[in-house]
Structure formats: structure tokens, C-alpha cells
Amino acid sequence: MPHSCLMSTFSRLPVAFVRGEGVWLWDAQGNKYLDALAGVAVCGLGHAHPAVTAAICDQAGKLVHTSNWYEIPLQEKLAERLCRLSSMDNAFLCNSGAEANEAAIKLARLYGHKREVLNPGIIVTEGSFHGRTLATLSATGNRKIQAGFEPLVQGFYRVPYNDLAAVRQIAEHNKNVVAVLVEPIAGEGGIQIPADGYLKDLRRICDERGWLLMLDEIQTGLCRTGKWFACQHEGVAPDVMTLAKGLGNGVPIGACLARGAAAQLFAPGSHGSTFGGNPLACRAALAVLEVLEKERLDARAAQLGARLLQDFAQRLAGVKGVKDIRGRGLMLAIELDRPCKELMTAALERGLLINVTAENVVRLLPPLILSDAEADLLARELTDIVRAFLAAPAAAGETR
């Protein structure tokens, strides 16, 4: 790459897209790519979805931004819609996942102080990802993301993911814990799916102790896992739920939803955002919710996920080097026994966009509007690529 005026925050694959439609992207040379990443679970409705495009264009021609110093009816409408879908009481609208989690962390601290806890603490997990701002990277369970940014924000207690005994142990020794913040499925952490009952038991512990259960549904929410929200697989209602990625289908928007006592903590002056919930973003999100609902994409994601898992399992049966195939809805993983970052390049060369996370986990987050034929194509192509990679001399996979 020649000199760039961009700060170096991503090591990018050598391709730029100029157009998208549904699950497909095109580069400037006219090459076509099947997008099984969807901008990291953002474009759940695929690219250039007509209903979202129409909503954005119409709103852009009317009113893009005013200010949170004025009433914004589209915000009211979006909050009402989100609360109805999630059974939460109210919403704070912002511009990203990290901001949604910042709001959640601030709610937990207000909640603690209200209960006269001097230094309110939040339990978080190893392998988690909550964002890149200082508070959210401090909450994140990945040293690589924190390194160099010390001093970290204090007040987080870390436990292994999917380990209830560790949560109970922290509770015994730290009277200042006021909340738990977890992902229902650890996305960046390699699509780690906790044992059945994990969220239910966390709910029970939180109820016993008077803690807030705060679920980071930024990646899992909005039909991605086959339900509207991943906590619904266990029938668990959190006190705080954060959303972002899939909410605007690419228009930046995040939301922090709260219920019960957590919904009564913010007052004018305690939190805010200049852009948060502006008319353009809210209009896009309303269009997204409408399509998700009308097309029953929760059920569709569940069905497609099952189909893909079965197809992967069949096509990779007995292939040495495949450690695990797992997923829920359209949040899917193929875990290998070796680092496999270069699979992203190998797939790109074959016209397939995938992601590798946690070093050795192929992560798929395709648009929820995938057709059966596209799903079959994805399974065929991907398993071919994985098989070829695993058959290559081991050194190739272990140098990076």
C-alpha cells in the first residue's frame, strides 16, 4: 500500500466494493462476491434493500438532523417499536455498539450509587467484546484490545465465560457488585455458545442479589440467532439490553434498552448524544424493523442456520482439522485446529466474504435474506475452501 492518510487501525483485504444487492457485492472490476459477513452482522437485510433505501432517500429529502434539544417523533416511534419487540420499558438511542454499552455501564453505576454502593462493580467475562472506547475496552475480555491503553477504567470483575460458580464466588467476596454484563453468545470471542440455562441462572443470581442483568445483544440481537433477541432462547428478560449492528442495516445507530428500576435512572443532563437517534437513523431503523417483522426473518434465520449447520457437518464429515461446527440461527462457526486467518484471503479469491475470529474460528454472519440456493452455494464454496486449506502443508497454516 502507498502512503495513506488514514490512521492504521485495520489490516484490510485488498478489495474495495462499489455496489451491492442482496447478499452480493461487486468490486470496480465487476467481480462478484457472496457476502457471508454482512459488514459484521450489520446488513441483515443485505445490501441496498429496497425498503431501507426508500426510507433513507425519503427521509434525507425531508430532514436529516435536528437536535435532541427538540422533540423527535421518529425517535419516539423507534423506541416504542423496540420496547414492544423486546419487552423492555425505554430506550436511549446512540450511534454505535460501544456507545450503547457505555450507556449500560453508566446505568449500572447510577444504579449502584442509588443503592449507596461506593464503588459499584460490574462482572464481565473472559473472551468478551464490548467495544473500543475506554470503558468498553476495559470491559472487554481480550488483552490484545486493552494493551497500550492503560490505565483501564476500573470497576470490572472478570470471570470465565459460561462459569456460574465464578460469578457466585465474586459475589461472596465483593459486596460492591451491582451488575453483570455478558453477551448471550460471544461473537468476537469465537461464537462461543454457553451451556443451556446459563442466562437463566445468571438471571436468578442477579435477582437474588439485586444486580442488573445487562445483555450485550449488539451482535446477537435483531433476529440474527433465530429469535428477535438471543435471550429469548432461554426466556430470559434482562434489565438492560444493548443493540447496534443490525439495527440500521448500515446506517449507524445503537440503542440501550432498559426495564424496571434500570429504566428510571437517567434524568435530563445525565447522558446524551449530539447525533444519537437523529431522524435519518431512526427512519432507517424503523424500516429495518418493519422488514424483519413482516418477513418473519427470525424464523427464517433459524431455518437457514439449521440448514447450513447440517450442510457443513455433512460436507466436512471426517475432515481432519475441523474441531467443531456450531451456531445458532445465522451466527455460525467452523472451528479449526490451527490458526486460519489466511482463509479470508483464500475465500476472497473465490468470491466469498467470510471472517476469522479468535485465530482459528471461521465466522459466518450472512444476511438474513439469504435464499436457499445462496445458502447451498455458500456451504459448497466454503467447505471446499476449508478442505483445501486443511489439506495444504501444515506450515502454511501455522506461520501467522
The residue nearest ligand PLP at its CB is 97
Whether residue 125 contacts residue 182, with contact meaning beta carbons closer than 8 Å, is answered with yes
Which is nearer to ligand PLP, 180 or 316 (by Cβ)?
A: 180
Q: Cell for 245?
A: 449492528
Among the listed residues 92, 129, 266, 389, the single catalytic one is 129
Number of residues forming the site for ligand PLP (CB under 6 A): 15
Of the candidate spans 52-60, 127-135, 282-290, 353-361, the one that interacts with ligand PLP by CB under 6 A turns out to be 127-135
CB of 223 to ligand PLP, least distance (A): 15
CB atoms within 10 A of CB 259: 19
Question: Which residues in 7-24 are b (16+ Cβ under 10 Å) and which e?
Answer: eeeeeeeeeeeeebebbb
**235-274 residues near ligand PLP, rule: CB under 6 A:** 244-245
Task: Name the residue type at position 156.
Answer: F
Which is nearer to ligand PLP, 251 or 385 (by Cβ)?
A: 251
Among the listed residues 35, 92, 156, 216, the single catalytic one is 216
Strand ranges (DSSP E) for 244-309?
254-258
Q: Is 388 annotated as a binding residue?
A: no
Instruction: Tell me if 138 contacts ligand PLP by CB under 6 A.
Output: no
Which is nearer to ligand PLP, 101 or 125 (by Cβ)?
A: 101
| Measured distance CA(82)–CA(279) in Å, rounded | 16
Beta bridge partners of 254: 94
Instruction: Tell me if 126 contacts ligand PLP by CB under 6 A.
Output: no
Whether residue 128 contacts residue 141, with contact meaning beta carbons closer than 8 Å, is answered with yes
Instruction: Tell me if 92 contacts ligand PLP by CB under 6 A.
Output: no
Instruction: Tell me if 35 contacts ligand PLP by CB under 6 A.
Output: no
| Measured distance CA(291)–CA(285) in Å, rounded | 10
| Measured distance CA(290)–CA(44) in Å, rounded | 13
Whether residue 42 contacts residue 249, with contact meaning beta carbons closer than 8 Å, is answered with yes
Instruction: Tell me if 125 contacts ligand PLP by CB under 6 A.
Output: no
Instruction: Tell me if 127 contacts ligand PLP by CB under 6 A.
Output: no
Q: Cell for 55?
A: 426510507
Instruction: Tell me if 328 contacts ligand PLP by CB under 6 A.
Output: no
- Is position 245 annotated as part of the catalytic site? yes
**Quick one: which of 129, 154, 352 has its CA closest to 244?**
129
Instruction: Tell me if 276 contacts ligand PLP by CB under 6 A.
Output: no
Which is nearer to ligand PLP, 135 or 390 (by Cβ)?
A: 135
Whether residue 133 contacts residue 105, with contact meaning beta carbons closer than 8 Å, is answered with no
Q: Is 217 annotated as a binding residue?
A: yes
Give whole-number Cα distances, 326 to 31, 83, 137, 302, 382, in Å.
30, 30, 27, 13, 15
Using only C-alpha atoms, the chain has a radius of gyration, in whole angstroms, of: 21
Which is nearer to ligand PLP, 42 or 237 (by Cβ)?
A: 42
**208-237 residues near ligand PLP, rule: CB under 6 A:** 216, 218-219
Beta bridge partners of 237: none
Q: Is 338 annotated as a binding residue?
A: no
**Binding site for N(2)-acetyl-L-ornithine, residues?**
132, 273
Which positions touch ligand PLP (CB under 6 A)? 96-98, 101, 129-131, 183, 187-188, 216, 218-219, 244-245
Q: Which residues are catalytic?
A: 129, 216, 245
**Binding site, residues?**
97-98, 129, 132, 216-219, 273-274
